[in-house]
Structure 1
Amino acid sequence: MTTPDHQSPHSDASRPEARDRIYRSPAGIAGGILLLIIAGWLGIDGLISGTGRTPWLALAALILVVPLVTAFTLRPAVYANEDRLRIRNPLRVIVLPWGKVASLRSHYSNEVVDTSGKKFQLWAVPVSLRARKKAAKQQARGTAGRGGDGRTSSPGRPSPFGRGAATDAPTRPQTDQVMDDLRTLAEARATEESAQGEVSVRWAYEVIGPALAGALVLAILLATG
């Protein structure tokens, strides 16, 4: 879920530029690709095989649907380096220097709160209640299967590491581990000079513009039909 990508926009000759750690949702990407394939198949079929106003309706629907599907599935990502947290949500891009991050919270969604109290959701790091329940069950089974000294309770099968292999597996959901990593980075870098600055929020007009254009054309076609 985490891969290195382009370097930080901060340029400081006194130290190497920090690389971003990238967090994305594999399930969201897979779902987005599937939806785009379905939309493309239906839309192209309407363009080629449709008669009358159908090709125009199909074209307008594609212009509306493709940017929105891309925005809510393929676009979301979280970029973190030593200086700042950059959140690419469906319709906005938020950049928070670590000095402006007050907290990172997890409940029904993962979000970051800046020092002014504003909340920004991390679309690329969704909460999975199912994964949390599964992890809790694994942890409970691991605790029940260990003796008081931390070794497995099964007789005649001592572990060379003093633990059962099953209990060494991570039991926290991956997105919760991501939030732990971000909290650790925020705490470590909050007071650094290079991690200071202002919070910036930019609307994703490259998504909003085409979607509005498609919606307008579709509305006109339907209204004049």
Structure 2
Amino acid sequence: MKQVFRSRMALVLGWIWMVFAAANAVDLIVRYSGPSSLTAAAVLGVMTALVFITCLRPAIILTEDGLLVRNPLRNTRVPWEAVDEVTVSHSIKIASGDGSVRCWAPQASARERAAAVRRGNPARTGSRTEPARSKGEQAAAEALAGKTHADWVADQITERAESAKRAATPAAGQPGAGADGSTGRQAAEPAGAADAQAVESGGPAGGAAATAGAMKVSWAPSALAALLAAAVLVVAAILA
């Protein structure tokens, strides 16, 4: 199951700017007046590129194979089996082996953290009483008590990683091909020993496992394209 998590406020503000930028771009094209229009287009292009890479692009995407962290300029892919620890301060940090990645979105602001704490410890003043909740509403309130959106996303990542690791671990004590399971166990032992020797010696088995479980970081083509388009508009405005 694919899940996408973003900063809701940044997403709303980003799309509002995109509509504003599109309307202004059309106006500049219709009322083109030479260098002044190019200068305005360059400013608009730079601002739009920055809004795109900081508000619309950042996200955490959970897939069947692992997670994808989209930060402003980089994409980071981490297989579920390689997720070692997920922590939250003002942002979500995912550790994998010797590396780690901090997620641009969603983040937990101090204001959101304080509001979450208040939800977890509701104050009772005077004779004010809260309306009765259903069992489902009460369970949801207890699950989210004291947690921000970033905390909840971190919990989802941790649960998916732990579930994937349990599924990848072979069940202990499975019977083999023989009637009493002894043949299967005897056949499995040499294979396990061979794998262990390959890992210790840095052979093919160990190298393949290390490569498959590694965190992969790459530049984001969409972010670079947006910056390149903005740079072209700036150069055109300077040369005009």
Q: 1:120 and 2:108 equivalent?
A: no
Residue 167 of structure 1: how far off its partner (Å): 10
1:186 equivalent to 2:161? Answer yes
CA distance 1:165–1:63, shift in 2 (3 Å): closer
Contact 2:45 2:233 (8 Å CA) reproduced: no
- Is the deviation greater in 81-90 or in 105-114? 81-90
Match of 1:207 in 2: 223
Counterpart for residue 22 of structure 1: 4
> Where does structure 1 lack aligned partners over 5 or more consecutive residues?
1-18, 146-153
Identity %: 25
Higher helix share: 2
Whole-angstrom distance in 2 between the partners of 1:215 and 1:115: 37
In the other structure, the counterpart of 2:63 is 81
Inter-partner Cα distance in structure 2 for 1:220 and 1:115? 46
Deviations 1:116-166 (A, max 9, x none): 1x2312223221321210121222226x69xxxxxxxx8xx9x7989x969
Matching residue's letter, 2:3? R
Q: Deviation of residue 106 (structure 1)?
A: 0.8
Contact kept, 8 Å, 1:60 with 1:214, in 2: the verdict is: yes
**Contact 1:113 1:119 survives alignment (8 Å):** yes
- Relative to structure 1, the CA distance from residue 50 to residue 167 in structure 2 (aligned partners, 3 Å threshold; closer, same or farther) is closer
1:111–1:217 Cα change, 3 Å = same
Question: In the alignment, which of 172, 192, 197 is matched to residue 213 of structure 2?
Answer: 197
- Residues 1:131 and 2:147 aligned together: no
Q: In terms of mean alpha carbon deviation, does 20-29 or 209-218 score higher? A: 209-218
1:98 has 2:80 as partner: yes
Measure, in 2, the Cα distance between the counterparts of 1:161 and 1:70. 41
Name which one, 1 or 2, has greater alpha-carbon Rg.
2
Alpha-carbon distance between aligned partners in 2 of 1:67 and 1:160, rounded to the nearest angstrom: 45
The residue aligned with 1:71 is 53
Report the AA paired with residue 21 of structure 2: A
Q: Which has the higher contact order (CA 8 A, sep 6+)?
A: 2
How far 1:88 moved relative to its partner?
1.9
Find the aligned partners of 1:82 and 1:168 in 2 and give their Cα distance: 28
Q: Secondary structure, in 3 states, of the residue corresponding to 1:85?
A: strand
Cross-structure match for 1:6: none
Structure 2 distance, partners of 1:161, 1:23, is 27
Any conservation in 1 of the 2:106–2:149 contact (CA below 8 Å)?
Answer: no
Which blocks of at least 5 consecutive residues in structure 2 are unaligned? 170-208
- Report the CA distance shift for 1:218/1:141 in structure 2 as closer, same or farther (over 3 A): same
Residue in structure 1 matched with residue 90 of structure 2 by the alignment: 108
Whether the aligned pair in 1 keeps the contact of 2:91 and 2:150 (CA below 8 Å) is no
Alpha-carbon RMSD across the aligned residues, in angstroms, is 3.4
3-state SS of paired residue (1:141):
coil
Query: Which residue, 19, 28, 33 being the options, matches 1:46?
Result: 28
Alignment size in residue pairs: 192
Contact 2:92 2:106 in 1 (8 A): yes
Asked if structure 2 preserves the Cα contact closer than 8 Å seen for 1:126 and 1:175, the reply is: yes
Shift of 1:62: 4.2
Per-residue Cα deviation, 1:34-80 (whole angstroms, up to 9, x for no partner): 11223233333333334231232233344433333222212222121
